[in-house]
Structure formats: structure tokens, C-alpha cells
Structure 1
Amino acid sequence: MSGQTVSMKEPVCLIENDSDGKLRVVRSALDILDKIDQHVVVVSVVGLYRTGKSYLMNKLAGERKGFALGATIQSKTKGIWMWCVPHPEKRDHTLVLLDTEGLGDVEKGDEKNDNWIFSLAVLLSSTLVYNSMGTIDNNALEKLHYVTELTEHIKVKSNQRDGEESSEYLRYFPSFVWTVRDFTLTLEVDGRPITANEYLENALKLRTGHSKKDQAYNLPRSCLRNYFSPRWCFVFERPASGDKMRRMEELTDADLEPAFVEQAKEFCDHVFNEAKTKTLKQGLKVTGRLLGNLAETYVSAIRSGQIPCLDNAVLALAQIENSSAIERARAHYQKRMADWVAYPTETQEELSEVHAAMEKKAVAIFINNSFKDDDQKYQLELMKVLQEEYEKICERNYKESQKACESKIECIFAPLEEKIRDGSYMTPGGYKEYCNDLKLATSEYRSEGGRGVKAEEVLKEYLERKASIGQAVLSADESLTEAEQRAEAEQARREASERENRAMEEQLVVQERLRADQQRTYEENVNQLMERMERDSRNAIAEHDRVLQARLKEQKDLLQQGFDDRAHQMQREIDAIKGAKAQEEEKKPSFMSTALDTVGTAATLFLPGILPKVGGMAVKWLSKWF
């Protein structure tokens, strides 16, 4: 998906607190996101205030300045700020950087607001970066208590029960990167060198025991292990001396410690190559416009005192996006048809071929920008809308053909009309001259291009109006015997009948082509629908596999660390995931057949010329799946 993107020179505020202290989305930021048709990789950074979060985000944006850097104890970033830049590696993606206000700001002292900021960062991002100072010890994990309260601020389902399996959150939550600034320890355990990732996993090991102290120790660790996968860690040495630290925005890489510069590069390379496209359930890829709608939906729920619900957000967005997808498809079709169709087209086939190409692209635009259209309501609406647009174009083509033909007749038959007016044919031998002139003019008219799809019908109507004149000329021609006049009259009737047949055949060709267009419309929509259903099913199965592998790894780690009870309890989650995956695989044939039946039956209401052929198409697609 190439699509349209933007390149911002500096960040803007996306979410702020209003005068009442409530969160709100900034309209101008939404306007920017609304212009981004590309898929987005969304990287959010969170952490305690004054830990250098903004510096990392500026590095990701490829700039020294942008997100505010502070050299005092005050938090510089308020709310959530956004910077959209072209992705340096994925050319068809936009990188959206979200810098959040520092958590635990002593001046602000609003822990509830901190929780919502943290929750929104989780909800909006595809990669969440948590930034801290020093080491990952128990104190650092206790300060990350926001992760232990996520289930109080985010719901997956509207009817969610307390204690809902963590695997449901794992489906939606972003990957996790812990960045540790001013790290002074040696990365080793028992004298053995370890990686930063191993350092993080070692810090997340649980403690045996059931005391309140043990439970408090394990809670943030369990939440990180259960909600976020995969996880990475990067450690950074102190970038410069204290004096230089106060002038970070002015410094170049040459002014910083070489080790820090290299570590920052490794972090950026990781984000550019490993951070995934933001997705929703079943792998739906998010565009900038959809990200803006997500932010509005979540903040609206928070403002109204509700807990943001992921499933509800997807359903609400589906209504907005699917209606928008229809309009975008219609607009594309209208514009491209206006660009490509030169009225009148010489044949209906010529118009049909342009229509087929533009409709195919319009359907693809809808398919790529719509989701959760489980009953095909919106796709059927699209089919109806495009059919109505095509009918308008065909009607215009008829009228333009009529005008072109009448203009050509007026020009070509002008000499004949002049002779009729001055009585040139009302003499002996005049009827033969009249017939010859009529034949020559008719032949010239039929040899002309640019007449369109009503060429014979307009000619027939014109010559029908001239029939009485021909009879008058014939009756006045004294050079013809009575028998010859009867023969000429019979010849005139045969020629009129031939013109009638030509006009009927011309219209039959048009109608047959229109019926073929309707059939092709139906089959094009069904083919693209089936391809999307197949893709959605693959994404759903891949999602089950990803969560399953994460749960199996966690279960294995628990067993190795001696937490047999926890590992056995996790088996219930694992079995549920396996069951959901099996159900997804089993439902494909019936789901596809139902969709085909729904589309075929409903489409006949506005595409009366189609033969749905549900059985044959079902067999075709089932053979692809199995």
C-alpha cells in the first residue's frame, strides 16, 4: 500500500488536558493523521519524567531537535505529542512517534492522568518503549506499577469478566522495549556475559513463595511477561558530562560518548527493522486516518467515564471506516471514469472495458479500507452505488450519442433537405434521384466515426420522419408506372424493416453487454471478497499461533523456574487458544458459503442480470483452501 503520507517538520500535540483537566484529542493533529493513507508503524515512549525519553524519539525522527528536551527537574512534555515522518526502511509506511508526558511528575501529582496516558500509549502503539534510568531492579519495576493496572483501564471485550486470560491482551498489546539510560553495570551473571535482552528476562524472573511481599514482587513482573511479547532491552551509557547534558539539543554525535552513539544507533536500527505495522484484531493494518479515529474513540470513552474497550472500538470504527471506504471507492470510480471516458464511446464494449478496470480498482479500495463487514452489508452497498454510477454514465453516453448522431445527420443530409424544400424531387424521375441521394447520405453517415451506441436508432427515427416525404415524391413521379410505384413502395418498406432490425440488433448488443457487465461486477466483488476472507482467516490463524507460541514459551520458562502450579494453570489458556485456532480453520468453508449466498441473493435486487452460481464459486474457492 503506497498511499499518501505527510512529513512533519516538528511534532504537534495529539492529546492534551483541557481546562477541566480532562483528556481531549487535538483537532489539528487529527487533520494531519487524516491525510495519511499509508499503513503506520507507531512507536510510543513512556517513562518517569526527566529520564531522557524525548532524546530517543528525536533520534528516531532523525533530528537533534523536535520533541522538547529539558535540562531542569521539570517535565517538558505534556500530554501525548506526535511526529509523523516517512519510515526510513519501509517505503510504503509512515513512522508515527508518540512522546508521552513524564510519569510521576511531582508538580502535576495526578496519578489517574498518568494511568490514562500510559494506557493510551499502549492502545495506540505497535511498539511501546519504556525508558528508565540506572538499572532494572525491584525499585525500577515498582515504579512501573502502571502495567499492573492496565486491566483496570483497558477491556478487550464489553462483557469481559474479571480475571480474563492474559492471552486476550497479548493479542492486542504492542511489543515492548525497555531502554535503560546511564547504565553502569557489567552485563554478566555469575561471571558469564549476557545480552541486554537476557538482562531484562533475568530481572523479570518470579520469586517463589506466597507471602504478600512475594506477591507484590511478582505482580509487575507477571504483568510484563503476560501482556507483552516479544520483549527487548537496550542499555545506554551516560551520553556526556553533566555540563554537556544541559546542552543536549546543541550537541552532535561527535560531542557524545562513542559508546552511547553506537548504542543509540543499535536502538534506532532495531526500531526501524523490528517495529511492526500497527494492527487491530485479525491483523487489520492501521492507516494514519484509522489511528486518528482510534485515538478519538479511546479518549471519548475516557472522557465519558468509561473504560476503553478494544472490541467496541473496532466495531465503532468499522461503521465509520466502512462508510468512508464506500465513498472513497465511489470518488475514485467517478474521477477515473471522468478521466478516461470520451463521450460518446463508439461501442458499449468500449465503455464496459473502462468500467471494468475502474470498478475493479474501486472494489480493491473498498476491500483494503474496510473491515468487520461480516454480513457484507457495506460491500453490497458498494455494489449498488457503483452500479448506479455506471447507469448514470451509460445514460449520459446514450444522450451524447443521440446528440452526436443528430448533429451528423443534420450536416450529411443537409443537401437532401435543401432539395426537398425547393421541390427538386417533385419532377419526373425525381423519386430515383431522391432514393440515390438518400442512399448516398445514409452510406456516408454510417461511415462516420463518433456516432456512439445509438447510431442506427437515431438514423431509423430520422428516416421514419422522412417516410411520408418519400411517399409524396413517389406519388408525384409520373415517369413510373403504377406497377413500378408499387414495387418501389415495397422496396421502401423492406428498407425500413431492415433499419428497424439494425436498430433492434444495436440495442440488443448494448443490453447483452450490460448483462455481462452485471455478471462481471458480481464475480469481481465475490473474488475480491473471497480473497479478503482467505487473508483474514490466515491473519486470524497467525494471530492464534503468535499468542500460542508466547504462552508456550512462558509456560516452559515457568516450569524451568520451578513454578509448576502456574505452568499447569496456564495450560487452560493454551488449550483455549488451540481450540480457537481449530474453530477458525473449521468455520472457513461454511463462512465462505454463507457469504456467497448472502451476496448472490441480495445482489440480484439491483443486478437483475446476474446468475450467482454460488455452488460453482464455492467449489472454486474451497479447492484453493484445501
Structure 2
Amino acid sequence: GIGTPRRGRCTSGSLAAPSYVSELTERIKVKAAGEGDRQEREDSAEFVRFFPAFVWAVRDFALQLELDGREITEDEYLENGLKLKPGSSQRAQLHNLPRECIRQFFPARKCFVFLQPAGGKDLPRLEELREDQLEPEFREQGDRFCRHVWETSQPKTLPGEHVVTGAMLGTLAVTYVDAIRSGAVPCLESAVLALAQVENSAAVGEAVAAYEGLLERRAALPTESVAELLELHAQCEREALRVFMARAFKDDDRWFQGELMHRLEEQKQRLVQRNEQASSDRCTAVLLELWDELDDRSGQSVYAVPGGYQRFLDDRQEMVERYRQLPGKGIKADAVLQDFLQSKAFTSQSIWQTDMVLTKKEKEMAAQQARAEAAERERQVLRQREAELQQLLEDQERSFQENLRQLEQRLEDERKTLLEELDKMVDQKLKEKAALLSEGFQDKAKHTEQEIQGLREQSLEIKDPSWILSALDMLGEVASLVLPGLAGKAAGVVSAIARNMK
């Protein structure tokens, strides 16, 4: 804050600033890499991204808001107080250093002046006064100040507008304190990267939990087909990815997204196994119940008569038809039926051998037919299994496409935010450059122009398609490792996206 000014007109302004403002670049660094002048230039521009807006509250203000015979606003009072003095004397440097820092690191500035809240005898007992006993003008000034804070204050964010939660702020604070205690200079970039490791790991866990929770609510196993099961998985996966994208940040090598892909692929495999087991249990229970009737007839010697084998075949076929018509058996219906009938082959052979009506030739033909039917059922089961495996492989590509789609959308949103952020910084730097030129500081204006040029170069880099494509390529490399069925295909998928972006 500013000490109580003496009564009179506003001239150059009595402005004081804590020493740590002028020593900022010595106390903390933005970038982990870089040395010397280059590092200092990068820091001076990059600090703006991390810093909040600057609100200067002047208490017990007793000056007149007037300059050179004209009324000025509170903001003009602050800007007038931030003007630099020409010259290179020690006095000029001491005057300019804190002002330069405030102008450089806090381009968005606002000023509020407050009269004394009470006068005369009431001032010593200020804490005892009710709000309605304070000076009306002071209350009005306080209301304006509060409205400004509530209406313009933004949540603390990291680069890319990633909102910092309370837990994240605690982690950052510990990181900074540990660095200071060790004698190192705290680095914002390193702290953010360390925080990203913690947050991204938590994002993976949260996404997997979201997948499991959604699956628990929606899963009704067994499903009638693999396609139905994979659609269920895809729905849960999309939601899990949204959860991950909402929390993860600075996953530049896509390791954590790859870890999520791997975890969800494992979840899918377990889901397939659960579905198959549920189907197998259901089918086995149905077949055992249906076969009880044939067992009862066999126990009553219904088939131990001439022509009994044919009657047995007819009854067995009727049982199979009834089995196939029952819903809710799931994807293992044919495989379980094949295994079940093979397990009952001894019963069939026993009835066949005791049927005295059949000739030796007819028995051989019946045996060949039984083997042919069993072989056809086996081929049908294999064809179904191959089709299911193909669907599972195709689902890996679908999963990769969904990961690419959501990552691309996330990067597009980040790019838009970063470009808006850079445009705002350029506008603020242009204003600072104009102010320096008007005050006659050509060298400082030239330095600011270099910062502006650096920000514009960053904008061009972010606007280039490669800014997004390189991240998608990285995800493709990761996906080829965590999704074996995708090997050789990921590059083609990314290339197709690249063609669409041009």
C-alpha cells in the first residue's frame, strides 16, 4: 500500500514498492533452461503469464485527484506515479527500478483511493463502529473496490488456463518452500512439471474410476454380441477420457494418456472375460436343465428299444432348437453347446450301439454324420471366434481414434486460450512501449519491442499445424506400444488427420 499522503495536489506521486519486486528475477525463475540475458528476457515476458492483475489500494487518501490543473482518475494517479525519471544517476535508478518492475510484471493495473473511514473522535475506536457509522464516501469507495474484485478476479491458473485447485496449490507451495530451504532459486516451470506428474497420475486413476463406475451402472452381462459389449466399453471409455482431459495437463510426451489407454485396454479385456464367463454360466445352466428331460427318458429305457437312436436324435435336436430360441445366453452360446454335446457323446454312442434295428452300415453312416455335425459346429465356433477377435482388433483402432479426437479437441482449446493470452500480452507490451517512447526512453522501448517480437514468434509457432500434429504423432507412438493390435496403423491414422487439417 501507500503511506498517507500529505494534503495538496497530486504531483509525481509518493510511490513505494517492496524490495522483492525489484529483485524478482533473482528470487524466482520462470524457465528451467536458458542462461544469461536470454533467460532474463524470457523471464520478463513469461512472468506476466503467471502474475495476477495488480490492484493498488491507497488508504487514508488526502490529496486532490488533480494534475496540471485538470482532474484525473484514480488509475491516472497510479500511472502518473509510475512514470520514470530520465537520467542514469543513482537517485534516478532508485526511483525507476520499482516502477519499471511494476510496469513490466503487472501490465494490467487498477487503483482505488480510500478516504479516512471516520474522523475526529471516532477514528481511534474504528473497530467498534458499525458499518453505517463509517463515512458514506468511504463506504461507497469500499463497495466499488469489492465489486471490482468480485467481477474481475480470475481463479489462479497455470499456463493454458488450467485452474489450480486447493490441493494443487498446496503441492506448489511445498515445492517452492523445499527449493528455498535447499538454497535453490524456485523455478515456476519445474514446479509446474512436478505438479503435472502428481495431477496426471491422479487424472489416470480418476478416469479409470469413472470408467468402472459407469460400467457398473450400465453393464448387463452377458451381452448378445461382441459389438454390443464393445459399444458399452466405448461409452465408458469416452467418459473416462473426458475426465482425464479435464484434469491432466503438461502431458507433453503423452505418457499418462498412454497409461490410461493401457489401463482401459486391460479393463476391456477383463470385461470381455466377465462377459464370456457370464454367458458360459448362463448357457451351461440352460443346457443342464434341458438335458434333464433326455436323462429322465434314458433312465426310463425309452431309447433302449429298436429305433430308439433315431428317437434320441429327434429329442436332442428338439432340445437344441429350444436352447437356441431362449434369449439372454450371450456370445458363448454356440461354443458352450458344442462342448456340452461333446461331453454327452458317450450317452449318444451307447444308445446308438444298443439300437438293434440299425444295420452295421447304417451305424457307420450315423457315426459319420455325427462326426460331420460336430465338425461343422466346431467350424462355426471358430468362425465366430475369429470374427470376435477381428472386432476386438478393430475396437483398438476405434479407441485410438477416440483418444486422438479428444486430444485434438483439447489441444485446439489450449491453442485458442494460449493465442488469446499471447495477444493480450502483446497488446499490453505495445501500450508499455508507447508509454516508454512518450517518456523518452528509446532503449527501454527497443527492449520491449524485442519482447513483443518474441511473443509474436510464439504465436506463429502455436498457429502452425505441427503444434498439434507433433502431439498426435507422439500419441501414435505411445499407442503402438500399449495397443499391440494397432502396430503399423497409428501413423496412417495421424496422417489422415494431418491431411484434413491442411
TM-score, normalised via structure 2 length: 0.90
Cα drift, residue 146 of structure 1: 3.0
Instruction: Tell which deviates more after alignment, 494-503 or 304-313.
Output: 494-503
For residues 183-582 of structure 1, what are the structure 2 equivalents within 5 Å? 183-241=61-119, 253-582=131-460
Equivalent residue for 1:178, pick from 46, 51, 56: 56
Residue type at the aligned position of 1:607: L
Distance 1:162 1:346, change over 3 A: same
Equivalent residue for 2:491, pick from 610, 614, 617: 614
CA distance in 1, matches of 2:375, 2:285: 24
CA distance in 2, matches of 1:389, 1:585: 37
Q: Any conservation in 2 of the 1:141–1:220 contact (CA below 8 Å)?
A: no
Equivalent residue for 1:599, pick from 454, 471, 475: 475
Question: Can you list the C-alpha shifts for 1:155-180, whole angstroms capped at 9, x where unaligned?
Answer: 11234545512213223222111112
Distance 1:252 1:350, change over 3 A: farther
Distance 1:254 1:564, change over 3 A: same
CA distance in 1, matches of 2:490, 2:440: 59
The answer on 1:158 being equivalent to 2:27 is: no
Cα drift, residue 458 of structure 1: 0.7
Question: Can you list the C-alpha shifts for 1:152-211, whole angstroms capped at 9, x where unaligned?
Answer: 221112345455122132232221111122223332323323222121111111112221
Question: Can you list the C-alpha shifts for 1:254-303, whole angstroms capped at 9, x where unaligned?
Answer: 34333233322222222222222322234433233322221221122122
CA distance in 1, matches of 2:127, 2:383: 78
Question: Can you list the C-alpha shifts for 1:284-332, whole angstroms capped at 9, x where unaligned?
Answer: 3323332222122112212222221111112211222222221111222
Instruction: Tell which deviates more after alignment, 483-492 or 330-339.
Output: 483-492
Question: Can you list the C-alpha shifts for 1:329-356, whole angstroms capped at 9, x where unaligned?
Answer: 1222122222221222232222211210
Instruction: Tell which deviates more after alignment, 331-340 or 217-226.
Output: 331-340
Residue type at the aligned position of 2:227: E
Cα drift, residue 436 of structure 1: 2.3
Instruction: Tell which deviates more after alignment, 550-559 or 433-442.
Output: 433-442
Cα drift, residue 242 of structure 1: 6.8
Cα drift, residue 577 of structure 1: 2.6
- Secondary structure of the 2:57 match is strand
Number of the residue aligned with 2:4: 134
More helix by share: 2
Q: Any conservation in 1 of the 2:58–2:114 contact (CA below 8 Å)?
A: yes
- Secondary structure of the 2:56 match is strand
Question: Can you list the C-alpha shifts for 1:413-454, whole angstroms capped at 9, x where unaligned?
Answer: 211122334433221222232122212221222222222221
Cα drift, residue 608 of structure 1: 2.9
More strand by share: 1
- Secondary structure of the 1:177 match is strand
TM-score, normalised via structure 1 length: 0.73
Number of the residue aligned with 1:97: none
Over the residues paired in the alignment, what is the CA RMSD in angstroms?
2.6
CA distance in 2, matches of 1:421, 1:336: 49
Cα drift, residue 518 of structure 1: 0.8
Q: Any conservation in 2 of the 1:537–1:584 contact (CA below 8 Å)?
A: yes
Gaps of 5+ in 2: none
Residue type at the aligned position of 1:203: G
Distance 1:401 1:190, change over 3 A: same
CA distance in 2, matches of 1:243, 1:573: 54
Distance 1:150 1:483, change over 3 A: same
Q: Give the aligned length.
A: 493
Residue type at the aligned position of 1:434: F
Q: Any conservation in 2 of the 1:176–1:231 contact (CA below 8 Å)?
A: yes
Cα drift, residue 616 of structure 1: 5.1
Question: Can you list the C-alpha shifts for 1:69-120, whole angstroms capped at 9, x where unaligned?
Answer: xxxxxxxxxxxxxxxxxxxxxxxxxxxxxxxxxxxxxxxxxxxxxxxxxxxx
Cα drift, residue 243 of structure 1: 6.5
Instruction: Tell which deviates more after alignment, 283-292 or 314-323.
Output: 283-292
Q: Any conservation in 2 of the 1:207–1:214 contact (CA below 8 Å)?
A: yes
CA distance in 2, matches of 1:244, 1:297: 46
CA distance in 2, matches of 1:374, 1:469: 64
Q: Any conservation in 1 of the 2:107–2:429 contact (CA below 8 Å)?
A: no
CA distance in 2, matches of 1:346, 1:254: 73
Cα drift, residue 462 of structure 1: 0.4
Instruction: Tell which deviates more after alignment, 444-453 or 255-264.
Output: 255-264
CA distance in 2, matches of 1:250, 1:609: 75
Gaps of 5+ in 1: 1-130
CA distance in 2, matches of 1:240, 1:251: 9
Question: Can you list the C-alpha shifts for 1:19-61, whole angstroms capped at 9, x where unaligned?
Answer: xxxxxxxxxxxxxxxxxxxxxxxxxxxxxxxxxxxxxxxxxxx
CA distance in 2, matches of 1:260, 1:622: 62
Instruction: Tell which deviates more after alignment, 251-260 or 469-478.
Output: 251-260
CA distance in 2, matches of 1:231, 1:280: 20
Q: Any conservation in 1 of the 2:66–2:72 contact (CA below 8 Å)?
A: yes
Instruction: Tell which deviates more after alignment, 303-312 or 568-577.
Output: 568-577
Number of the residue aligned with 1:57: none
CA distance in 1, matches of 2:242, 2:180: 35
Distance 1:398 1:153, change over 3 A: same
Residue type at the aligned position of 1:158: A
Number of the residue aligned with 2:20: 146
For residues 51-70 of structure 1, what are the structure 2 equivalents within 5 Å? none
For residues 42-57 of structure 1, what are the structure 2 equivalents within 5 Å? none
Cα drift, residue 230 of structure 1: 0.7
Question: Can you list the C-alpha shifts for 1:496-531, whole angstroms capped at 9, x where unaligned?
Answer: 233223322332332222112211111111122222
CA distance in 2, matches of 1:487, 1:169: 89
Residue type at the aligned position of 1:618: S
CA distance in 1, matches of 2:305, 2:103: 107
Distance 1:615 1:342, change over 3 A: closer
Q: What is the percent sequence identity of the aligned residues?
A: 40
Q: Any conservation in 2 of the 1:592–1:618 contact (CA below 8 Å)?
A: no
CA distance in 2, matches of 1:405, 1:259: 83
